[in-house]
Structure formats: structure tokens, C-alpha cells
Amino acid sequence: MCSDSGRPFTYVEFTYPQWGNIGSIEIMAPFGFGATWDADTLAWVPSVPDDAWLAIMRMAAIEVIPQLEIVLTGGETSIKLGNDEFKFNPQLFQRQVGMWQAQNEKVCGRYKRKIMA
């Protein structure tokens, strides 16, 4: 969301005084929105840095891992097909999830809003 000038909003000014608890007003915008200056078009264009976009995708994948484990294993820890038995690691994706979470923490640290006093 941008103003008529093509630049992203940096503050909100209300016409009337607002009442309510602190944090009771939310500004909804696309998650991960960013803007960069495009020298070719001489305008601000929406963009999300590549590492932040990958972090968003990893966070989404982490959310579906539990369901994926159930779909792949049927909730079983082993399955017998004829004379063969196949055992599933109940923590099949947990190592990957841990690595993704560590990577995401690094990315979030790079983009965390800094409050200057």
C-alpha cells in the first residue's frame, strides 16, 4: 500500500481522537511488505528481500510439517508389507524444522525494527 506519491506510508494520522486500550487499533497490510527504489522507473516498487521471503516460506512449511508427517506415515511408526517391515522415525522432520527455525531467527534479527531513544 502506497500513497499517491508512490512511497510507502510511514505513519498514520487520525482525523478524530481515538479512544481505547493501547494496541486496540490495528493497521492491516501485506505481511513482509517492503519497498525499494527502482532507478529505471524512478518509483518505489513493492519488494521483499530474498532471505526474508525464504524465511516466510520456511515458516509456512513449519506450520504444515505435523500434518505432512501424518499423511506420509498414516500416524504409524512402522508398517508391514508382506515379510518386510518399514519403520518410520517419529521425529522425521524435526531436525529440518530446527535448522529452519535457526535460519529464520538470523533473518528476523537482520530486519527487526530498531527503536532509537
Model confidence pLDDT, tens digit, residues 42-64 = 877 777 778 888 998 999 989 88
**Residue 73 — pLDDT band, cuts 50, 70, 90?**
confident
- What's residue 91's pLDDT? 74
The single-letter DSSP state of residue 17 is -
Q: How far is CA 54 from CA 47, 67, 107, 117, in A?
A: 13, 21, 9, 32
Residue among 48, 54, 42, 15 nearest 29 (CA):
48
Model confidence pLDDT, tens digit, residues 3-39 = 566 665 666 777 777 777 877 776 665 554 566 677 7
Name beta bridge partners: 46: 35
